[in-house]
Structure 1
Amino acid sequence: MSAAPASFAALFAPYTLRSVTIPNRVWMAPMCQYSAEAFGPNAGVAHEWHFAHYAARAVGGTGLIIQEATAVSPEGRISPYDLGIWNDAQVEALRPITAFVKAQGAVPGIQIGHAGRKASTERPWKGGRWVGPEAHGWLPSAPSAVPFHEGDPVPHELTVDEIREITGQFAAAAERALAAGYEVVEIHGAHGYLIGQFLSPDSNKRTDEYGGSFENRTRFPLEVVDAVRAVWPAELPLFFRISATDWLDGEGWTADETVRLAGLLLEHGVDLLDVSTGGLSPHAKVPVGPGYQVPFAARVKGETGLPVAAVGLITDPEQAEKILANGEADAVLLGRELLRDPYWARRAAAELGGELRTPTQYHRAW
């Protein structure tokens, strides 16, 4: 792993994981756009919106762009309008995006995931609740027959064979991600989606080898990591996104368990933990505030040595610089702030004295 040169702001020092050098520590968090077609031959296929969205952040100087949660199967989509990576047509549509991102000097990453019981929902601006077949929806699957919201349909409880099939879908998605040109894969284990549902005793009520003890609840996540690592090239980094706590007063997944799992993920070939929180239960009380999730990332880094990225209401360049300078994280992930300002990295570089590659076409402005 690379260290920040003294002559640069820490935020604009390059960072190397395996063979990939990311030009700075301003990284884009995966954020669903809910903008793909919902059904037919183009279901889950990226189009002009996705190209323009990611291209703008690459031109804006973002070092690593992690594409929104991209489903490993049709049933794994959060909404019918999510991107997918379960077929070759989807791969072909993603290649122009990764090629353009690389041409700007940024690194293209992709988050692969399965929504579990939180699947088949309407787009957030239309309420975000479960939708049925009349709106291109389906019955979700989950570790246990426990719905996310009261009034949602009871999800199908996965059999052991179905769990293993989904593990294979994650591996196949990683292979397609490589074919599409991505250099970082992130496994989505956060925000109450399928992997997080297995981790949390609040949603995982199984009594077989996938439920109950910490070892059993982490079995499926570690099997997914092993399956992906087996097909993802050894020279390319693998990330894992975690919700460090469910914010359920000890009744769900906890920070202590996150630290314990982080050590195992390191042993299983994960290169960086993307540390978020929450999303498992609509009843959680989350104390949202500037940098509220950073202490969880700092604890993982301090107690396990696994590199971490911090996320959550990081909006100000000085705030981001301080997180890195204090050693609380190895990079910062910006979400909504990059929706508001695709050129955030350039503004931060001007404020902090960092250096960024500028497209030749824009040199006259800098």
Structure 2
Amino acid sequence: MKELVYPKERTLGLITLVLGVLVWLALIVGTFGTALIGLLLAFLAYVFAQSALISYIKGNGVELTASQFPDLWEQFEDCCRRLDIAQLPRAYVLNGDGMLNAFATRFLGTQYVVLLSGTLEAMAQHEDGVRFYLGHELGHLRMKHLQGQVLRWPVLWLPLLGAAYSRAREYTCDRHGAACCNTPEGAARALAALAAGSQRWRDLDLPSYLRQLRETGGFWMSFHELCAAYPWHTKRVARVLPEAKVPSRNPLAWLLAVFVPYAGRLGAGFGLLMMVYIIGVLAAIALPKYQEYQLVAKVATALTDSAPARQALSAFYQAQETVPDTLDEVGIGSTLPSGAQLSLNSENMTLSIVLGKSTLNLVPQVQKDGSLLWVCEMQGDVTPKKLPMNCEQGIR
């Protein structure tokens, strides 16, 4: 059954799983276990949301059994046999209000396959139509696509990686759907119904449809597919037909797509918005931090450079018992080696150092032995959270 798995899926699945687990471990360790609380809350939210979906399916759908829609049940059983699925999931038919689709889900260990009524009506005259949709959804269950996504979640948004893994899973499930069909063309026409609609799929000319594949190698189509959760439909149809060839993507599209985070079904446009948002958030966090670190460095440099001025002022005060009128009076210049400007308050001998938008004030305090201790005070728009350890207690 290895041939039913798209070649890139296992590799991409392993990469996303390993990276996701590493990120979760980093988050848990880095937040001292707080991330586990987030995981628990996410699991509780999942339980309530998923229980609501399963309740809706059971309360409003029709369960397939040997006596309830036996023709569909026979196809379902045959598809499970072809895919080597021993434990049959529970299968339901649900009113889809004309929508052509099916989906698989699971809840507390029980697996479900749901066919929307629009699919049954559209595929009524298609020998393999329903089989393909059943096989596709059984593929999700057989490959455990509904499990382990929480572990992968932290890295699925990464450019190229998350989208590639999602597309690979769809190709794998299309192969499962095709395995349930009697002919590749039957699988292709069942897939084509998603493009042509519930009635026009009968009249679809497959060779003409496949000629549209040439367009998918263009720059914009390549770019948007690289950012998308699903392959282009023409490619999906082509890949279930052994003789069809899929063109390669435009190389330049990779260069642009590498900068666009994966946004699921919302596509590249939302991915670009996400990228702008992420950059904005990082800038909002990083810029103030950078300014703070820069100011802390300036404070440390200013304290070192101002040591001669503090010593000269201390010596003057101890000898004269008065405050000098200017810095020149004690032989100190008004500019430090770093370029910061010094100023002196002649009333209380506070030494001020201008550091951009902030000012470091060194306020002298007379000790019992007559010596001076200089206490740091910051003022301005931006102040560092941490001054040097000895600054607030006072320095000589």
Length-normalised TM-score, structure 1? 0.23
Q: Which has the higher contact order (CA 8 A, sep 6+)?
A: 1
Length-normalised TM-score, structure 2? 0.22
